[in-house]
Chain A
Amino acid sequence: MHLLEVENLTKRFGGLTAVDNLSFTVDEGEIIGIIGPNGAGKTTLFNLITGFLKPDSGTVKFKGEDITRLEPYRIVNKGIARTFQVVRPFHHLPTIANVMVSLESPRGSRKIEWVKSPERKALELLEDVGLTDMMLEPAEILSHGDLKRLEIARALATDPELLLLDEPFAGLNPIETDFLTKSVRTMHMDGHTMVMVEHKLHALMKLAKRVIVLHYGAKIAEGKPEEIAKNKKVIEIYMGRKA
């Protein structure tokens, strides 16, 4: 059984088809990269999987269970966590409290030792992403790179089986990118399955085992990173047709 099954998913915004009859599967323990030019429907796909948007047709199955039209928070509590492309921190709360919000969710408070001292668990998670120095500062003073990592810590606090990362490397400098690459590897070792949307192909190709290429909402290629890099169609949509 696949961990996540997406079948014939379609979403239209008026005349524009953002996601067009898309099907793919994710198996446990994989890191999957989703790439495509701007407006290819990557973020819409994430919104459809996590319930923030309702699809026009098609189904999303998680561990064999249909989750297509569930409320977003119910999907999170089934075990799919996501980060946002545009960071959405809780400005008024200290960094550590940002993570503790997730620990208050039904899934985050499933484990007894997490409920007993959410502060300790939140601190552990902040340590994983390297934010312990800022733990008592309000989130509004954090830099963009810090906020990106805070988003990941917050997603991890819901104890997800599948993690959807929406452009985690966007706007990070090389040092931060290296650090995040390492933490993503550790998270993968810890048993999190990951689906990642990314424009920084260099960082993505190092991590992903399988890459799906979207163009105008439809899947045009799927395979190992090396194969994708040589795929004529993919090169065409990124670089343009040879004259």
Chain B
Amino acid sequence: MATYFRRVYLSFAEHVLDVPPRLLASMIFLILLAYPITKPPLTILYVLSVANIMAIFAASWDLLVGRTGQMNLGHALFFGTAAYATALFCKFFNLQLWVTIPLGALIGVSVALIIGFPCLRVKGPYLALVTLTFPLILISVVKYFREITGGEEPIINPRFFPGLPMYGKQLADYYLTLALLFVSGVILYKIANSRMGIVMVSILDNELASKACGINVTKYKLLAFAISGLFGSLAGAFMTHMGSGASVNYNTYLGVALSFQAIIIAIFGGVGTIYGPIAAAYILVILDMYGLGKIFGWFASNNLIPASIIQIESSMHWIMYTLVIIILIIKWPRGIGRFTTDKLKDLQEARELEERGKHIWKTYKRKKEESEHASTRS
């Protein structure tokens, strides 16, 4: 049985996975683009939209930490700042969403630059602790100015295209976030692999040597903060106008859990690859928001687990979720992104070797035939 599965997997890997990574990525993107044709239920569309947002968020974290090496444990700061900024602009100035979202992103970038300055004075674990505190400070600020921010009450936001029917709204969310993911994913990947990306990695590897190469390290670190903040903010600003509630509250938008979710996704996907966190966001968000619930339901309906567990599902859910992540990270410590590209490279090398072998065999046979021919003639 096991060997049979192994053979099926190998033939699958050989015939389906054996494509250049870029082609694989565009194929997945096209599938995502065409997916709503199958009329999926609202929940799935919502989960996928959230996955898009989390993918942008994790990828932006990855540019700052995986590429530049500036440990950031409070990435939710950008997400939350932009979310609150857009929500407040909507609430008090009644501006269009197409104005408030760029404004929110702008505020997110300025916050990134402002916190960038003090953050550049500290390094390593100290930087991690400093960044961890900023979202917590902002939570206190939100709570203190409760007349403006609503305090612990969420701010209800308008959605994109309020005129559309329920399903149409969700579909619009899905396509908007997918478009944003595509654009920001390409930009982040291009930056990470550009000449600027090389300098960023040099700062991660050895800051002192980078200075000795004449690099203005401060400038590049601030740039990384700003770019990372921009895409993190965009993700937050889009998130506020999405989903059934479409509301902002500090617990989900500024909480430590959100910051750590970005880190978990990025590590699971492969730190420093940009495409890894994007793929990982899909896997983990779908598992978290949809898959685990389905699995529990299936088990319960088949009387494999007592139905009473469903009542404590939320705590059970977290246990299962973390367990799955721990197992997967132990299995692929360098992340699924790197794992996949390594596999593809191996397959390609194997194919090249095979082709070269065939070529050698052919020339060998031809020469043999020629020599035989010559010998028979003589």
Contact = CB atoms under 8 A, between A and B. Distances in A.
Interface of A: 50, 52, 71-73, 76-77, 81-82, 84, 88-93, 97-98, 100-102, 104-108, 118, 154-155, 157-158
Interface stretch (B35-43, B213-221, B310-318, B366-374): B213-221
Is the contact region of chain B dominated by helix, strand, or loop, or is it mixed?
helix
B212 A82 contact: yes
B68 to A, nearest CB: 12
B331 interface: no
Contacts of B272: 92
Given A90-B201, A93-B201, A93-B205, A101 B213 contact: yes
B121 interface: no
B326 interface: no
A204 B214 CA distance: 27
B208 A101 contact: no
Interface in B204-229: 204-206, 208-217
A118 B195 contact: yes
B214 A102 contact: yes
A230 B266 CA distance: 63
19 contacts: A50-B212, A73-B215, A76-B212, A81-B212, A88-B209, A88-B212, A89-B205, A90-B202, A91-B205, A93-B202, A100-B195, A101-B215, A102-B213, A104-B195, A105-B214, A106-B214, A154-B213, A155-B212, A158-B213
A100 B198 CA distance: 8
Contact of A76 (B195, B196, B213): B213
Given A76-B211, A82-B212, 6 more contacts: A88-B208, A91-B206, A105-B215, A105-B216, A157-B213, A158-B214
B199 interface: yes
A124 to B, nearest CB: 17
Given A100-B195, A104-B195, A104-B198, A90 B214 contact: no
Contact of B216 (A73, A82, A100, A157): A73
Q: Which 7 A-B pairs have the closest CB atoms?
A: A105-B214, A76-B214, A88-B209, A90-B205, A102-B213, A101-B202, A72-B211
A103 B290 CA distance: 49
A84 B209 contact: yes
B214 A92 contact: no
Contacts of A91: 205-206
Contacts of A100: 195, 198
Given A88-B206, A89-B206, A92-B204, A72 B212 contact: yes
Contacts of B206: 88-91
A71 B210 CA distance: 13
A84 B213 CA distance: 11
A76 B272 CA distance: 29
B220 to A, nearest CB: 9
Contacts of A157: 213
Contacts of A92: 201, 204-205, 272
Given A89-B209, A90-B209, A104 B215 contact: yes
Contacts of B205: 89-93
A50 B216 CA distance: 14
B208 A52 contact: yes
Contacts of A106: 214, 216
Nearest to A72: B211
Contacts of A155: 212
Nearest to A103: B195
Contacts of A102: 213-214
Given A92-B205, A93-B205, A101 B210 contact: yes
A82 to B, nearest CB: 6
Contacts of B201: 90, 92-93, 97
A236 B202 CA distance: 44
Nearest to A100: B198
Nearest to B67: A92
Given A89-B206, A92-B205, A101-B202, A84 B215 contact: no
B114 to A, nearest CB: 22
Contacts of B199: 101, 104
A88 B203 CA distance: 12
B209 to A, nearest CB: 4
